[in-house]
A and B are shown apart, each in its own frame.
Chain A
């Protein structure tokens, strides 16, 4: 072993740079759990699937919705949509793309077994789908849903033929469709015969734990893509992923740890980054009997808007961005980075510890109080570090803060059980517009209406709820945007939650490649181009 390693090294060094120009390999930070695009709603899975499969609509790099397999669409009334499907598109197996494939794909969603995060959240409101000829599709929803075209972009279309559907597929909600034949389950998608889409690349092979290999689809309707073969390799540890790029094992990686970015740049690689739709925020429990608060005689100071404002003013966001995030983040003043839909360009709360102390005194806590700050330690970029920095800053205005950092699995369960008086978390708005974070984070918690699901601070403002509900049933974009802006302003004036920063997503690649950085944090191989 010892003797042989020397020639071995020499050969390695010599062969390290040999790379075929037509091939692309990308190091991903996590592994797709299935090739079935309807199995698990997870960035990791979606970004692989979107090379092979396409949806009716498509979100571009800044999450603007545009045509995909549907060339155009319109709302014929509040609950009916007409989609015109693209003509002349074929699947990888040669069968033509028609409305039947769309109906089949939607029918299969509730039938996917063992899905840990099913796509039914988008299809639950669809009461009927009918085809008018092969290339027109009518979708009827239960309630007005202005976001339907946006949601369509998350639902990739499968080939009804490849999956063994009958000639006629009829839609019925909640898995009651007819004509589906035997529906293949998720593991079957490991085979390129089942994982058949219309996308720019075909699945060539999938070796679990090692790689996904994609091959060029020469028949692609949008023009043949740039790479003959694309290899996606999950390299889950940050260090080795960077090392793989530096060593030339891969051509591009996603999310290099920000502390390594300068080193990667120095080595002659290209860095691209974009503001993401993910905001990191603090949420405060606004219930009388919040746990783990000390020094207040049983009162919950977080009920007081002045205390909440004091917390916001105590935080030096610029210092966090600069020191902890290495500059790869932007201090946040709202729930989504402007100019996304529904934002108001609201200024970021200033860093003003003196005023924060005054506010605390006004609220009746001149000596501060103590609380626990919950945070995950493996979920967001440098999450544990950010939380410790926040604790440091709160300590300075007299709020004794104990950081309780746990893995995401424990964090989410405990947060949902309301075990933290103050917690830090992140939210990425997949729809790229304001109703999404408002609904989840700030709307009054209401199981029946499906609102406030992630509002574990239990902030509640009926006036805001009303505006939000109105917006959610307004199909007109301009009017809806105005309502959303008003709702956001109400909640943030109240300091219902405290925005910290927007994460920035970073990609590193060889200098002869280019990638338009995406707000939704997806690494789409099909969007990687040779540099001009």
Chain B
């Protein structure tokens, strides 16, 4: 198992390195950040001097060398735009994104699992069909368009909820969070729903499929035959059996939610990491782009590892050593 973990970690590191090189070279090819950032009134000599100060005049291999050396010392570079370490800039935005992703995750599991079990137990009932139909809709609506519709309906037409931004934040465990104030919560409702709908559909479909399979298993039929109430059958046997895939998906989806938050944050002007990534791409703030990727990859890899371990605890039949193929 340890061998497996080590190997897995090594591979992820490799992936990170490949990604970093790609981004580094790519951003270099796109253009010179100084062209965007400098006051256009600067003369050619001043542009050259600024480029030199930011270290952008050096040949590519040298810039890359410096970057790699610094990276091993835990320094991912200084943001061109903010003049602060890129990692700090991102970590400032991390709580907003994580908060949004967590709330969305809770919504999607809290609503998705019960609906999925219901649809799985009564696949041919009207409710079951409606749930499945709804999940296909949730699955099919492009995230950004769905967000626009939410804004159009709840913010513009009805005027119930704010159209974007984060609202009032309060400090909680040293982080700025929204969920402790009414204003903050009201700002969070729409983006959280937007982020949750797609995952919720996914979870409904997965839960339904698993429920249907479990229902057909002999031990469930047996339990029912023994006269155990169907409520207990559902609660104990089915839920226990669908826990594994659901936990897997929760784990995997938390990572992808962080990534998907890019879209939701853009539509709702939520000041998280995803919005920062888009802004940084537009301003060619290379250190921030690279640092964002590093951090995201790290989050995803750790979640995956965590899920694997949890998986092996929940289901002794799965042996980590067998997960090579």
User: B49 at the A/B interface (Cβ < 8 Å)?
Assistant: yes
User: B82 at the A/B interface (Cβ < 8 Å)?
Assistant: yes
Which of A41, A209, A236, A413 is in CB contact (< 8 Å) with B30? Answer: A413
**Do A121 and B53 touch across chains, with their CB atoms under 8 A apart?**
no
Chain B interface main SS type: helix
Which of A11, A114, A121 is in CB contact (< 8 Å) with B46? Answer: A121
**Do B269 and A240 touch across chains, with their CB atoms under 8 A apart?**
yes
Which of B31, B93, B165 is in CB contact (< 8 Å) with A240? Answer: B165
Known: A186-B83, A187-B84. A209 touches B44 (CB 8 A): no
Which of B38, B78, B176 is in CB contact (< 8 Å) with A117? Answer: B38
Known: A210-B176, A407-B282, A409-B31. A116 touches B80 (CB 8 A): yes
Which residues of chain A are near B243, meaning CB under 8 Å?
none
User: B182 at the A/B interface (Cβ < 8 Å)?
Assistant: yes
Known: A9-B160, A12-B186. A235 touches B269 (CB 8 A): yes
The size of the chain B interface, using a CB distance under 8 A, is 64
What is the chain A residue whose CB lies nearest that of B186?
Answer: A12
Question: Per-position contact with B for A410-447: 1 when CB-CB < 8 Å, else 0?
Answer: 10111010000000000100100000100010000001
**Do B163 and A121 touch across chains, with their CB atoms under 8 A apart?**
no
User: B42 at the A/B interface (Cβ < 8 Å)?
Assistant: yes
How far is B182's CA from A109's CA once the two chains are assembled, in angstroms?
44
**Do A114 and B53 touch across chains, with their CB atoms under 8 A apart?**
yes
**Do A114 and B31 touch across chains, with their CB atoms under 8 A apart?**
no
Which of A9, A33, A242, A436 is in CB contact (< 8 Å) with B83? Answer: A33
User: A276 at the A/B interface (Cβ < 8 Å)?
Assistant: no
User: B151 at the A/B interface (Cβ < 8 Å)?
Assistant: yes
Which residues of chain A are near B80, meaning CB under 8 Å?
114, 116
**Do A409 and B269 touch across chains, with their CB atoms under 8 A apart?**
no
Which of A243-251, A294-302, A384-392 lies on the face that meets chain B?
Answer: A243-251
How far is B211's CA from A331's CA once the two chains are assembled, in angstroms?
67
Most B-side CB within 10 Å, residue of A11, A42, A124, A210: A210
Which residues of chain A are near B46, meaning CB under 8 Å?
118, 120-121, 124, 450
Which of B47, B83, B163, B271 is in CB contact (< 8 Å) with A115? Answer: B83
User: B113 at the A/B interface (Cβ < 8 Å)?
Assistant: no
**Do A114 and B37 touch across chains, with their CB atoms under 8 A apart?**
no
Which residues of chain A are near B151, meaning CB under 8 Å?
239, 243
Per the 8 Å Cβ criterion, residues 232-287 of A in contact with B are 233-237, 239-244, 246-247, 249
How far is B241's CA from A413's CA once the two chains are assembled, in angstroms?
57
**Do B186 and A116 touch across chains, with their CB atoms under 8 A apart?**
no
**Do A454 and B165 touch across chains, with their CB atoms under 8 A apart?**
no
A-B pair count, CB < 8 Å, reads 172
How far is B44's CA from A451's CA once the two chains are assembled, in angstroms?
8
Which residues of chain A are near B266, meaning CB under 8 Å?
237
Which residues of chain B are near A244, meaning CB under 8 Å?
162-165
Per the 8 Å Cβ criterion, residues 242-286 of B in contact with A are 266-269, 271, 275, 279, 281-284
How far is B83's CA from A116's CA once the two chains are assembled, in angstroms?
8
How far is B78's CA from A186's CA once the two chains are assembled, in angstroms?
12
Which of A8, A247, A413 is in CB contact (< 8 Å) with B35? Answer: A413
Per the 8 Å Cβ criterion, residues 188-247 of A in contact with B are 207-210, 233-237, 239-244, 246-247
Which of A234, A242, A450 is in CB contact (< 8 Å) with B43? Answer: A450
Which residues of chain A are near B269, meaning CB under 8 Å?
235-237, 239-241
How far is B215's CA from A4's CA once the two chains are assembled, in angstroms?
34
How far is B96's CA from A114's CA once the two chains are assembled, in angstroms?
27
Known: A41-B39, A121-B46. A116 touches B282 (CB 8 A): no
Which residues of chain B are near A233, meaning CB under 8 Å?
165
A116-B54, A208-B89, A414-B31 are known; give 14 further A-B pairs, CB within 8 A: A34-B82, A40-B37, A115-B83, A117-B50, A118-B50, A187-B84, A207-B176, A209-B96, A209-B166, A240-B165, A240-B268, A244-B163, A453-B43, A453-B47
Can you list 22 pairs linking A and B with CB atoms under 8 Å apart?
A1-B110, A5-B189, A8-B182, A114-B80, A116-B37, A118-B50, A121-B46, A208-B89, A210-B271, A240-B163, A240-B165, A242-B163, A247-B159, A249-B162, A408-B36, A408-B282, A409-B35, A409-B284, A416-B32, A416-B35, A430-B39, A453-B43
Top-10 shortest CB links A-B: A240-B164, A413-B31, A450-B43, A243-B163, A116-B37, A237-B269, A412-B35, A209-B271, A240-B269, A447-B44
Partner-A contacts on B (CB < 8 A): 30-47, 49-50, 53-54, 78, 80-84, 89, 92-93, 96, 107, 110, 151, 155-156, 159-167, 169, 176, 182-183, 185-186, 189, 266-269, 271, 275, 279, 281-284
